[in-house]
Amino acid sequence: MATSSRHYATGRRKVAAARVWVSQGKGAVRVNARPLQDYFPREAWCKLVEQPLEATGLKGQLDIRATVRGGGLSGQAGAVRHGISRALVRHNSELRAVLKQGGFLTRDDRMVERKKYGQPGARKNFQYSKR
């Protein structure tokens, strides 16, 4: 266990980037100075953010403060989850094995493919006609 009371990490997903601080507390999770349920209206996004805490058994023991920018809410939830996981490893290095096994420390590098010129989208083509 480290001696510092607050631990910082950065998480990323799609175009979103989250800065996350973890500290001893009563389990309050705040994203952009708002409670978790207010910032992420879908229950699935809230559960996604809390997954690393549940996997390590630290839910309700640590206060989480996150600031997140870029992308949409789905990508932001993934970025916060990644940031929480990395901050937990800095908080307690013994948690690394549990978080690594759950896949929380791996950055999901999937991005939206760019639109190509001469096409209506990334993969879609206009209808071909021989005449």
131 residues of the chain, pLDDT tens digit each: 445 689 999 999 999 999 999 999 999 999 999 999 999 999 999 999 999 999 999 999 999 999 999 999 999 999 999 999 999 999 999 999 999 999 999 999 999 999 999 999 999 999 999 88
> What pLDDT sits at residue 131?
81
Taking alpha carbons only, the member of 69, 84, 114 closest to residue 22 is 84
Alpha-carbon distance 126 to 131, whole Å?
A: 14
Chain centroid to Cα 121, Å, comes to 27
Q: pTM for this structure? A: 0.90
What does the radius of gyration of the chain's CA atoms come to, in whole angstroms? 18
Q: How many CA atoms lie within 13 A of 89 on its CB side?
A: 17
Q: How many CA atoms lie within 13 A of 39 on its CB side?
A: 23
Instruction: Give yes or no for a contact between 122 and 25, defined as CB atoms under 8 angstroms apart.
Output: no
The DSSP 8-state label assigned to residue 26 in this structure reads: S
The DSSP 8-state label assigned to residue 20 in this structure reads: E
Which two tokens mark 23? Answer: 């500290």
Taking alpha carbons only, the member of 15, 102, 110 closest to residue 50 is 102
Instruction: Give yes or no for a contact between 49 and 41, defined as CB atoms under 8 angstroms apart.
Output: no
> What pLDDT sits at residue 63?
95
